[in-house]
Amino acid sequence: MEVLTPQTLDEALAMKAERRDAVPIQGGTDVMVELNFDRARPETILNLNEVAELRGWGRDNGTLRLGTGLTYAEAMGNGLASLLPALAEASRTVGSPQIRNRGTLGGNLGTASPAGDALPPLLVYEAEVVVASADRGVRVVPVARFLTGPKQNALLPDELIIAVRLEPRDMRQTFMKVGPRNAMVIAVVSLCLAIDREADEIRVSYGSAGPRPGLVTVALDHAWELTELVARDASPIDDVRGTAAYRVHALKVLVGRALQRCLT
Amino acid sequence: MRIALTVNGESLEAEVWEGESLLYALREHMGLPGSKNACEQGECGSCSVLLDGVLVCACLVLAVQADGHEIVTVEGLGSDDALHPVQEAFAMTGAVQCGFCTPGLIVATVDLLARVPDPTDDQIREALSGNLCRCTGYAKIFDAVRMAAGS
């Protein structure tokens, strides 16, 4: 096993181009579990912790750019929480303080778990994933197309996720998550809802109730249809965390509560 | 691979396997077994340390990622002659039963009190939500945090 630690983004992309099987590691909250439990023995690990370009967030003419290394703790911080309240709410439900200090947005997209807590807010925001490679430069993929299946995404072997881009809008929004306790919980189901008055629509995204997080959009004056639409769109399975029937039931309850929270 | 880092104020070097965690490196290569090894997946918090001043699970940090960085473990908080006020409070209130979760809880409490000197019960609960005690000692742990906050 070899660990490569690039100091700049260019260096990181060059390394990834040369070692396409290299596993990127940022906060390590997913990758380290695989290593510790002997489930993965990658030949090369690409440690992105020292690449300053991947950290933090900023504005570029109204567009918000969230670095792939943005931690959940940072997403909960004062500056971002007021711009992206549902992402901040979702981030607060991730793991524990220790996990939120290390786990990153890029990791959530890279792992592409159907239960990834940051994913429903990003879908509701209609965010885009910025990926890059040494050979072809930057490519932008909407989150909805980036997430292709359970733990599968549209990243090519020589690419790295470098940022998430989105246009923050003034929307009532919320995130909810069902689990046995408030901390250290992988979502049994999760739900993010936003009222986009500018587009005259309501967007709902749900997690842990299908092979990938789903997105349902409905016109604002059709809010009454939403509960059934979400229930029909979801395709949950029975697993250790809950049954499919419970997940559908819980999703319906959450849609009702989220609508109440955001419409009143 | 050789890494060089600062642990509890002291510059250290260690030869580590590329795939091993910071926790393993601390315990097996640096003679610092205070951080405990239990779940190895960030669930229990018994390996909590400060990495560049930030509370993390040492089991989820690749040892190589700590190269050039600064770590504080439970061993760096007090000495045999003078316990850290948080350690003192845990001992005074009997917030220790088997003791396995204690180092992680103490590091997490030190982190909390550095940011929030006078935490509410909700803030304590939130800050320690990633640290599990299976002897059911949470009531005493709350007493300890409140005592340390007052000291």
Nearest to B106 by CA among B141, B135, B137, B147: B141
One domain, residues B42 and B68: yes
Residue B51: inside a domain: yes
- Quick one: average pLDDT of A236-245? 96
What's the pLDDT band for A78 if we cut at 50, 70, 90? confident
B79 belongs to a structural domain: no
Residue A124, C-beta contacts closer than 8 angstroms, at least 6 positions apart: A86, A173, A192, A193, A194, A203, A204, A205, A215
Q: Are residues B8 and B33 located together in one domain of the fold?
A: yes
Give the pLDDT of residue A179: 95
Residue A231: what pLDDT?
97
3-class DSSP state of A214: strand
**Ranges of chain B with pLDDT below 70:** none
Chain B residues near residue A41 by CB distance under 8 angstroms: 19
Q: Looking at the 3D structure of chain B, how many domains does it have?
A: 2
Q: Tell me, what's the pLDDT at A182? A: 87
pLDDT at A211: 97
Give the model confidence (pLDDT) of A129-157 as tens digits: 999 999 999 999 999 999 999 999 999 99
Question: Given B39, B73, B107, which residue is the final one in a domain?
Answer: B73
Q: Does A19 touch chain B (CB under 8 A)?
A: no
User: Does B89 share its domain with B68?
Assistant: no
Residues B63 and B96 in one domain: no
Domain membership of residue B24 (yes or no) is: yes
What are A189-225's pLDDT values in tens digits? 999 999 999 999 999 999 999 999 999 999 999 999 9
pLDDT at A207: 98
Would B32 be classed as within a structural domain? yes
B29 and B62 within one domain: yes
The answer to whether the CB of B32 falls within 8 A of the CB of B25 is no
Residue of B nearest to A27 (CA): B61
**Whether residue B93 sits in one domain with residue B50:** no
Per-residue pLDDT tens over the stretch A50-64: 999 999 999 988 899
Pairing outcome for strands A160-166 and A172-178: unpaired
Looking at the fold, whether B90 and B145 belong to one and the same domain comes out as yes
| Structure ipTM over 0.90, yes or no | yes
Q: Which of B73, B99, B120 is the last residue of a domain?
A: B73
Q: What is the pTM of this model?
A: 0.97
Clarify whether residues B10 and B69 are in a common domain: yes
* Shared domain check, B116 and B95: yes
Predicted confidence at residue A60, as pLDDT, reads: 86
**Hey, are the CB atoms on B64 and A41 less than 8 Å from each other?**
no
Helix (H, G, I), strand (E, B), or coil: what is residue B2? strand
A96 contacts B67? CB cut-off 8 A: no
| Domain containing residue B116: CATH number | 1.10.150.120
The domains of chain A, with CATH numbers, are 1-47 (3.30.43.10), 172-263 (3.30.390.50)
Q: What pLDDT does residue A225 have?
A: 96
Overall average pLDDT of the A253-258 stretch: 98
**Overall average pLDDT of the A75-90 stretch:** 96
Same domain (yes/no): B111, B48: no
User: Has residue B6 been placed in a domain?
Assistant: yes
Which residue of chain B is at minimal alpha-carbon distance from A23? B19
Q: Are A123 and A215 in contact (CB under 8 A)?
A: yes
B58 found inside a domain: yes
Closest chain B residue to A4, measured at CA:
B64
- Statement to judge: residues B61 and B90 lie in one domain: no
Question: Whole-angstrom Cα distance, residue A215 to residue A232?
Answer: 12
Domain containing residue B91: 85-150
Residues A97-102: what's their mean pLDDT? 98
Please indicate, yes or no, if residue B80 is contained in any of the structural domains.
no
Q: Report pLDDT for B151.
A: 81
Judgement on whether residues B127 and B69 belong to the same structural domain of the protein: no
| Residues of chain A above pLDDT 90, percent | 97
SS3 B78: coil
DSSP per residue, A76-130: TSHHHHHHSHHHHHHHHTSS-HHHHHH-BHHHHHHH--TT-TTHHHHHHTT-EEE
